[in-house]
C-alpha cells in the first residue's frame, strides 16, 4: 500500500509515499523521454545501478552522474559537471533528470533540470526523511556559494516524487532524527496531530533500529508533513507571502549552518532555530510559556539539540542578514501566535533578538 499526496499547483504532480517504488517510478516516466540522467551520490551507487537496469529494460537510455555527497555536491562546479554530462549525452527537452539521494542531491538535480535547455522534467527519488518531507517537494532548487546556502537557484516543480520508505531502513538514526526536525516544524505551523504522534512514539522514532510498526508511524508522519507543504505550495509557489511559513526556525537555523561552515546537520540547526523563534515569540508577547516548553520537550525527546554556543552572536547576526526573507536591512522572522498559527515578525527590537539568543545559548 502507498499514500499519494496531490500537489495542485500550476503544474500539478503527485508525491507517492510507500515501499518498493523504484519500478513504479520508472513505469511512470514520460513516454517521450528517451534518455534519463540519474544524479546520485557515491553511497547510493548500488541503488543507482538498480535504477539503471530498470530504465534500460523500459527501452530508454540511462546515464549516471555520480556527485559528491551532501552539501559538497551543491556547487556551481558540480552543476557544470552535470551540464557537461547532459551535453555529451545529447539530452533534449523531452528527456528527464532523476534525483536519487538526500536533500542536497534533489536540490542539485532540480537545479540542473531547471537550467538545462531552460527547463527539462525532473523526477525526484528522495532517500532520507529530510529530502522526502522538504527538499524534494515544492519546486525550490538551488546550489550553495561561499556567501551562503541556496543563494543561487530557481523554482522548478518536479514531474513526480517517489518516497520509497525502504530507503529509511538503512538510514543512520542520526540522519533520520535530523530529518524529523522538519516534520516537527510541520506540526508547529499547521498539523498538531504530527506533534501528538511524535510525543507518543519519540523513543521508537529515534531508536537505532527501525521496526515495521515504527516505519508505519513514519509513513503517516511523512505523508502528513508532505500534505502541509503541498497545501502551502499550491497557494504560493514562489514564496511571495504564505510560503514563508515553511521557513519556521530557518532564519536562525541557516545562520548556524553558515557560521559552522555547514558542519551541522540541517535538522539540528533548524531544531535550535525553532526554539529561538519560540523564545522570540514569547518575548514579543505572541506565544505562551507552555507552547515554548513544548518545543524543547518534543525536540529533546528525539535527541535533537535545543541550544547553541553563546559566543557567536555577531557572526549569527551577519549570517541572518543574508537570509532570503530579509528586506533591505530589516530582519523578518516566522514566529507562532499559537500552535498552528504562524505569523511574521518584522524588524524586531535588537534587545529581543539578543534575549532570545541568550535563551538558547548553551
Binding residues for NAD(+): 69-74, 103-107, 127-128, 140, 149
295 is catalytic: no
Residue among 247, 257, 282, 296 flagged as catalytic = 247
Q: Please give the average per-residue pLDDT across 52-77, as a whole number.
A: 95
Q: Mean pLDDT across the chain, nearest whole number? A: 93
Position 140 scores a pLDDT of: 87
Say which range, 30-44, 65-79, 236-250, 297-311, has the weakest mean pLDDT: 236-250
Active site residue 250: yes
DSSP letters for 104-153? HHHHHHHHHHHHGGG--EEEEEE-SHHIIIIITSSSEEEEEETTEEEEEE
Binding positions for Zn(2+): 182, 250, 266
Q: Is it true that domain 173-360 has CATH number 1.20.1090.10?
A: yes
Domain boundaries, the chain: 3-169, 173-360
Q: Which of 102, 43, 107, 33 is closest to 63 using CA atoms?
A: 33
- Average pLDDT of the segment spanning 25-54: 96
DSSP 81-109: HHHHHHHHTT--TT-EEEEEESHHHHHHH
Reply yes or no on whether 247 is catalytic: yes
pLDDT at 260 exceeding the cut of 70: yes
Confidence check: pLDDT of 326 > 80:
no
Secondary structure class of 35 (helix, strand, coil): strand
C-beta neighbour count of 66 within 10 angstroms? 16
- The catalytic residue among 60, 243, 294, 312 is 243
Per residue in 337-358, pLDDT tens? 999 999 999 999 999 999 999 9
Q: What is the pTM of this model?
A: 0.91
Write the pLDDT tens digit of every residue in 88-124.
Answer: 999 999 999 999 999 999 999 999 999 999 999 999 9
C-alpha 261/C-alpha 148 separation (Å) is 9
Q: Which helix (H) or strand (E) is 74 found in, with range? A: none
Grid cell in block for residue 232? 502551502
User: Which residues pair with residue 105 across a beta bridge?
Assistant: none
Query: Residues 4, 5, 6, 10: what is their CA dihedral angle, to the nearest 10 degrees?
Result: -140
- pLDDT above 70 for 325: no
The CATH number corresponding to 3-169 among 3.40.50.1970, 3.40.50.1000, 3.30.300.30, 3.40.50.300 equals: 3.40.50.1970
pLDDT score, position 237: 54
Task: Give residue 83's pLDDT band: very low, low, confident or very high (50, 70, 90).
Answer: very high
Q: pLDDT at residue 132 above 70?
A: yes
Q: What pLDDT score was predicted for residue 151?
A: 83
Amino acid at each position: 500500500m502507498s499514500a499519494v499526496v496531490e500537489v495542485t499547483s500550476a503544474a500539478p504532480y503527485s508525491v507517492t509515499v510507500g515501499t518498493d517504488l523504484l519500478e513504479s517510478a520508472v513505469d511512470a516516466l514520460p513516454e517521450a523521454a528517451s534518455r534519463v540522467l540519474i544524479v546520485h551520490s557515491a553511497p547510493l551507487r548500488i541503488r543507482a545501478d538498480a535504477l539503471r537496469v530498470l530504465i534500460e529494460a523500459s527501452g530508454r537510455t540511462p546515464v549516471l552522474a555520480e556527485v559528491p555527497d551532501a552539501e559538497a555536491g551543491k556547487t556551481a562546479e558540480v552543476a557544470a559537471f552535470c551540464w557537461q554530462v547532459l551535453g555529451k549525452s545529447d539530452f533534449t527537452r523531452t528527456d528527464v533528470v532523476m534525483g536519487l539521494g538526500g536533500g542536497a542531491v534533489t536540490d542539485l538535480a532540480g537545479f540542473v533540470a531547471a537550467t538545462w535547455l531552460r527547463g527539462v522534467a525532473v523526477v525526484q527519488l528522495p532517500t532520507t526523511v529530510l529530502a522526502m518531507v522538504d527538499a524534494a517537494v515544492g519546486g525550490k532548487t538551488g546550489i550553495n556559494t561561499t556567501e551562503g546556502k541556496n543563494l543561487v537557484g530557481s523554482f522548478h516543480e518536479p514531474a513526480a516524487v517517489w518516497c520509497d520508505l525502504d530507503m529509511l531502513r538503512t538510514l543512520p538514526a542520526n540522519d533520520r532524527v535530523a530529518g524529523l526536525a522538519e516534520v516537527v516544524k510541520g506540526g508547529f505551523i499547521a498539523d498538531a496531530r504530527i506533534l501528538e504522534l511524535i510525543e507518543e512514539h519519540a523513543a521508537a522514532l529515534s531508536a537505532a533500529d527501525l521496526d515495521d510498526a515504527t516505519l508505519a508511524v513514519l509513513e503517516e508522519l511523512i505523508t502528513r508533513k508532505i500534505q502541509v507543504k503541498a497545501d502551502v505550495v499550491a497557494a504560493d509557489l514562489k514564496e511571495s507571502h504564505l510560503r514563508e511559513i515553511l521557513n519556521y526556525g530557518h532564519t536562525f537555523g541557516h545562520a548556524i549552518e553558515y557560521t559552522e561552515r555547514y558542519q551541522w546537520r540541517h535538522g539540528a540547526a533548524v531544531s535550535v532555530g525553532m526554539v529561538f523563534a519560540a523564545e522570540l515569540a514569547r518575548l514579543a508577547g505572541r506565544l505562551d510559556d507552555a507552547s515554548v516548553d513544548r518545543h524543547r520537550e518534543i525536540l529533546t525527546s528525539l535527541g535533537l539539540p535545543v541550544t547553541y554556543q553563546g559566543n557567536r552572536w555577531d557572526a549569527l547576526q551577519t549570517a541572518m542578514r543574508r537570509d532570503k526573507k530579509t528586506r533591505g536591512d530589516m530582519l523578518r522572522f516566522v514566529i507562532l501566535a499559537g500552535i498552528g498559527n504562524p505569523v511574521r515578525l518584522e524588524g524586531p527590537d535588537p534587545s529581543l533578538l539578543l534575549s532570545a539568543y541568550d535563551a538558547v545559548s548553551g
